[in-house]
Amino acid sequence: MTTTEFSIQRAYTTDRSTTLRWVLSHVRQNRLLIGGVFFGAFSNAALAAVVPILSGIAFQAVISNATPNYTAVAWAAALVAASQILRGGLQLVRNASAETIGQRLERDARDELYGSLLGKSMTFHNLRSVGDTMARATNDVREVNLMLNPGINLVVGSANFLLMPLLVAPAIHWQLAAVPAAFLLAYVLALWQYLGQLRPVSADVRESFGALNSRLAEAIEGIETVKAAAQEPAEVQRFQLLARAYRNNFVRQGRIEARYIPLLLLGLANAAGFTHALALANAGSIRLGDVIAYLGLLTLYGFPVFVSLYAYSQVSLGLASAERILELIRAESELDENSGGYCEPMRGSVTFEHAGFGYAAGSRTLQDINLHVEPGQTVAIVGQTGAGKTTLVKLINRIYDASGGRVLVDGVPVRDWKLADLRRQISIIEQDLFLFSRSIAENIAFGMPDATAQQVEEAARAAQAHDFIVAFADGYQTMIGERGVTLSGGQRQRLAIARAFLTRPRILILDDSTSAIDSATEDQIQRAIRDVARQQTTFLITHRLSQIRLADVIVVLRQGCIAAAGQHADLLRNSETYRSIFARYEAGGA
């Protein structure tokens, strides 16, 4: 089973060993509908075969006697009409069943993929292109639906049409089974070759679409940077290269489809069948009406030949898309939710024992970190850009997992904690924070959905956010844009701080979280933080000297290692690295 940080209990378990088994494990949950598809497909082909048989009977009734038997012709016409009305009704059942299965497959595949992505580690998401992931979660999932309907639906239907001439022709004359049998054998061999050529090209089509979507998503996300550097022409050129690769793969697919051999086999089968039937009629073995019926049966091959040109391409694209989806689902995550782990209320002590971490194999962002923090202490972490400050605090709640040594909370290794309980009692507020396209109240209550309106307002007041919130026409119900784009940087940070205050975490991590706030507002927020800090452990990553001086412990990071740790006055006397950092912050007016 794939390791995951988060999992959802489902009504059934999917088989992820192969792409086909994964698709089938979803589809087989709809057994009644599957029966509707197969019964509808068989009845459609059988009732289609009734038309040439009745046409042959009517033709024979006209030419057999000096006076045509119009009664027989009328009965044949009535039976044709009745059979086709019945056929239409059964076709409705078949298509409705196939469409329902396809829609359910799309829903369930997207749901499984979404749950899987939520359970992946940050290392996984950091290394994965957002655009490619979105292409798989949207377009590829849709292709899986289309693989079922019309894809598989048409394949099942065409398979029944292939069998009908072989089953019905011997009733006219046993020798007439020869051409259908030969055509069926040649068709299967040609189709096998066709699918073998089509499969890798279909995979390339889906991969090139993912690359195209990834480039587009990246350009839109960084549109401000693109415009600021006047790089629009360069971005257009990059996009055109990927669009050309996508087009070229589709052209390759079209060339394979243009060489579809069954189209030639259809013509040869009709010619051979016509010749054979005439020879039997000339020998007196069958009547002319039987020749007409037999030729009508051979025309049934037109449906599977022409439809399969599209249907099998759709199935091939769908399987390629399913493989891309399953690749994401099966991708290993370094972290496990540890549902049976330690889950007691947290006191707030944190210990690093020779902890290390690297984003990639062989790299070392942090190494040999040793630090102990008592409950209720405030720790300031300082260092140059790239020293590993943010990475260090993200080892506490296992956003990243230490690749060496141990990290302990309340004396319990974080790997032994139930992941949800560990993270629920820790809040991180970052400079590059994220707000959802929801109301202000919902964003504040994100970590505590059952919070009352009064609790939300108290948290907003403590974060100095209440005044600007009530200034909006809709107050706390004001909808904010994606990532909070309708708010200023300072307003977004205050909402994130209110979110943290509401959950009352035992460990609060502030990563340059007041950088976009003016000094007066920051002083008010800092007083609120100090008030709640008495009941919690606080980690500060900041350039503000006013905050650094007030910390119980100051940790100085240099190139991923702790260069010094202690109080402000002691570090000024004993640590050259800290004096250098302090002087730089002071010169910057921090």
483 pLDDT higher than 90:
no
Domain count within the chain: 3
Q: Are residues 493 and 527 in the same domain?
A: no
Predicted confidence at residue 82, as pLDDT, reads 96
Give yes or no: residues 165 and 287 share one domain.
yes
CB distance 522 to 491 below 8 Å: no
Task: Work out the average pLDDT over 240-266.
Answer: 89
Tell me the pLDDT band of 8, cut-offs 50, 70 and 90: low
Give the residue-averaged pLDDT of 533-561.
85
Residue 587's pLDDT band (cuts 50, 70, 90): low
In 3D space, the residue among 394, 400, 477, 487 whose CA is nearest the CA of residue 435 turns out to be: 487
DSSP letters spanning 330-398: H---S----TTSB-PPP---EEEEEEEE-SSTT--SEEEEEEEE-TT-EEEEEESTTSSHHHHHTTTTT
* Closest to 45 (Cα-Cα) out of 309, 298, 300: 300
User: Would you say residue 100 has pLDDT above 70?
Assistant: yes
Contact at 8 Å (CB) between 144 and 325?
yes
CA distance 365 to 383: 13
Q: Are residues 247 and 383 in the same domain?
A: no
Q: How high is the pLDDT of residue 588?
A: 60
Q: Evaluate whether residue 5 is within a structural domain.
A: no
Per-residue pLDDT tens digits for 26-39: 999 999 999 999 99
489 and 516 housed in the same domain: no
Residue 482 has pLDDT above 70, yes or no: no
Mind listing the pLDDT tens digit for each residue in 351-395? Answer: 999 999 987 776 788 999 999 999 989 999 998 888 899 999 999
> How far separated are the first and last CA of the chain, in Å rounded?
50
Residues 192 and 326 in one domain: yes
Q: Is residue 339 part of a domain?
A: no
| Owning domain of residue 526 | 348-425+507-590
pTM above 0.75, yes or no: no
Q: Which pLDDT score is estimated for 528?
A: 65
Determine how many CB atoms are found less than 10 A away from the CB of residue 534: 9
Do 246 and 279 lie in one domain? The reply is yes
Residues 75 and 210 in one domain: yes
Q: Write out the H or E segment, with its range, that includes residue 502.
A: helix 489-503
Cα(218)–Cα(507) distance, rounded to whole angstroms?
Answer: 34
pLDDT higher than 60, residue 1 = no
pLDDT, tens digit (0-9, with 9 covering 90-100), for 79-90: 999 999 999 999
- At 533, the pLDDT band (50, 70, 90 cuts) reads low
Same domain, 297 and 383: no
pLDDT digits (tens, 9 = 90+) for 188-220: 999 898 888 888 888 888 888 888 888 887 788
Residue 108 has pLDDT above 60, yes or no: yes
The C-alpha angle 175, 177, 178, rounded to 5 degrees, equals 75
Query: Has residue 8 been placed in a domain?
Result: no
Mean pLDDT calculated for residue range 291-307: 93
Q: In the listed set 504, 536, 552, which residue is the last one of a domain according to the structure? A: 504
Q: Reduce the DSSP state of residue 553 to 3 states and report it.
A: strand
Predicted local confidence at residue 317, as pLDDT: 87
- What angle (nearest 5°) sits at the alpha carbon of residue 300, between those of residues 297 and 301? 115
517 — pLDDT class (breaks 50, 70, 90): low
Is 529 exposed, middle or buried, given 0-12, 13-18 or 19+ CB atoms closer than 10 A? buried
Structural domain contains residue 6: no
32 located within any domain: yes
Regarding whether 234 and 172 lie in a shared domain, the answer is yes
- pLDDT of the residue at 544: 77
56 plus 197 within the same structural domain:
yes
Q: Which two tokens stand for residue 216?
A: 């587009």
438 and 519 inside one domain = no
Q: What are the backbone dihedrals phi and psi of residue 428, each rounded to the nearest 5 degrees, phi first? A: -120, 125
Q: Are 314 and 194 in contact (CB under 8 A)?
A: no
Helix (H) or strand (E) holding 430: strand 426-430
Instruction: Check pLDDT > 60 for residue 516.
Output: no
Residue where the block lists tokens 């994130």? 496
Asked whether 172 and 290 are in contact (CB, 8 A), the reply is yes
Summary mean pLDDT of the chain: 87
Q: Does 445 lie in the same domain as 376?
A: no
Is residue 336 domain-resident?
no
Closest by Cα among 300, 218, 401 to 46: 300
CATH number at 416 reads: 3.40.50.300
Q: Using alpha carbons, select from 590, 460, 467 the residue that is nearest to residue 528.
A: 460
